[in-house]
Amino acid sequence: MRHGWHAHNRFTLLPESKRFLPAMFTAIEQAQHYVFLELYLMASGTLADRVIDTLTQAAQRGVHVALLLDGYGAMGLANADRWRLHQGGVALRFFNPLGFHSLARHLSRDHRKMTLVDGQMAYVGGFGAVDAFLNAWYEIAVCAQGPVVTDWETLFRHLWVSRMTRDYLIDKPAMTLPASRADTQYPMGKMRGRAMDGRGYRYQAIRRSLHQRVDGTATRLWLCTPYFVPTFTLRRRLARAARRGVDVRLLVPGGENDHPGVRYASQRFYHALLKAGVRIFEFQPSFIHAKFVLADNWSSIGSCNFDHWNLHWNLEANQEVDDPQFAKQVRELFERNFATSDEVDAAAWASRPWPQRAKEWLYGTLDSLVTRLK
Ligand SMILES: O=P(O)(O)OC[C@H](O)CO
């Protein structure tokens, strides 16, 4: 897809599920024509029940509802719930279900998260339909309105009919999606934005976009990711930016996280980054699962953890915004989160105890092995 910038959008930053979940549910409840929902994670539970009820109610009133789930990420969705969706009139498809394929094919996952309504709005973020997003994990989303919504629809429509997706009823062809109601000329606001995607090592626009921003930023580069296991080139770029005087900060999980091994693997990079002048903040209130970046007036919010794994294997999609007012909101959000984080002190880190170092080595070695999988 061509990643063109569109002017005249409106972007609403929705920090935390208490803001983005009600907004998304209301948008689906008010849908008149179609709802396209694409998720990596969906597992049976309270939130999935709410999603299923809302989608089936929309379908019952004549709205076209298409749900595209990753075949691995949705393994926790019970058969009964899949049946409820199907019976309720929701067209359900899975990206790359597990089967007799090569390892490389299994590793390619649809990690994107988007909710598209009537061609009028696109909700994009790091969310999934699992109960952790109700109140345990810290997550954010952005609501896009305006011409950029067309590109979000294009992303969804392409994958819906991809040869990598299968219908819930295996022998059934994909439901033909209704004609788009998005309008590329529709002026909703004054903000520039583009839908940015990546398809692992096959198509790396999302990686290139971040690299360009890291290299070109003049003031700050603040990056939040739950899994900070970046490539060597990204680490080198971050260090280089810090050395030339850019305010480079990382916001990463503290003790609350869902994969402690990944945290140890990421901590093995702290020493070199701290030495280069990068500031590292470990979030304390809960597990921070959000993925967002700020560089001058540019920000990017979405599915991409900017780790080696995501960039090499997954389908990813982020909303990029180039707007000073929106950047100010993102900056204030970062600042609120830095205030509830512990900053890693370089001197204290240099004298951390050996069991910590041993874990960094162990999980770092495992991470290096995993990243060599092809
Ligand atoms: O892949 P993410 O970033 O959506 O996170 C998923 C969680 O790691 C599941 O444990």
pLDDT tens digits for 8-67?
999 999 999 999 999 999 999 999 999 999 999 999 999 999 999 999 999 999 999 999
Q: What is the pLDDT of residue 374?
A: 60
Question: Is the model's pLDDT at 100 over the cut of 80?
Answer: no
Q: How far apart are CA 74 and CA 256, in angstroms?
A: 24
Q: Which two tokens stand for residue 355?
A: 């069991």
Angle between helices 46-60 and 79-87 in degrees, nearest 10: 20
Tell which residue, 134, 128, 140, 136, has the closest CA to residue 285.
136
CA 210 to centroid of ligand 1, rounded, Å: 20
Q: What is the CA radius of gyration of the chain?
A: 20
- Listed range (2-6, 29-33, 80-84, 304-308) with the worst mean pLDDT: 2-6
Question: Is the model's pLDDT at 334 over the cut of 80?
Answer: yes
13 - beta bridge partners?
A: 142
Q: What is the pLDDT of residue 203?
A: 81
pLDDT digits (tens, 9 = 90+) for 211-262: 999 999 999 999 999 999 999 999 999 999 999 999 999 999 999 899 999 9
Determine what percent of the chain is predicted with pLDDT higher than 90: 85
Using DSSP bridges, classify how beta strands 114-117 and 121-125 pair: parallel, antiparallel or unpaired. antiparallel
Contact yes or no for 226/257 (Cβ under 8 A): yes
Summary mean pLDDT of the chain: 94
User: Of all atoms in ligand 1, which is nearest to the CA of residue 130?
Assistant: 9
Question: Is the model's pLDDT at 141 over the cut of 90?
Answer: yes
Q: How far apart are CA 263 and CA 96, in angstroms?
A: 28
User: Of all atoms in ligand 1, which is nearest to the CA of residue 226?
Assistant: 3
Q: What is the pLDDT of residue 2?
A: 66
Q: What is the pLDDT of residue 101?
A: 76
Start-to-end Cα distance in the chain = 25
Q: What is the pLDDT of residue 121?
A: 96
Contact yes or no for 147/319 (Cβ under 8 A): no
Residue 228 CA, distance from chain mean position: 14
Question: Is the model's pLDDT at 132 over the cut of 90?
Answer: yes
pTM over 0.90: yes
Q: How far apart are CA 250 and CA 230, in angstroms?
A: 12
User: Of all atoms in ligand 1, which is nearest to the CA of residue 227?
Assistant: 3
Q: What is the pLDDT of residue 308?
A: 84
Question: Is the model's pLDDT at 288 over the cut of 90?
Answer: yes
Q: How far apart are CA 314 and CA 118, in angstroms?
A: 27
Q: How far apart are CA 253 and CA 251, in angstroms?
A: 7
258 C-beta closer than 6 A to ligand 1: yes
CA 249 to centroid of ligand 1, rounded, Å: 22
User: Degrees (nearest 5) of the Cα angle 367, 371, 374?
Assistant: 145
Question: Is the model's pLDDT at 71 over the cut of 80?
Answer: yes
Nearest residue by C-alpha to atom 5 in ligand 1? 289
339 - beta bridge partners?
A: none
Residue 212 CB neighbour total at 10 angstroms: 13
User: Of all atoms in ligand 1, which is nearest to the CA of residue 126?
Assistant: 4
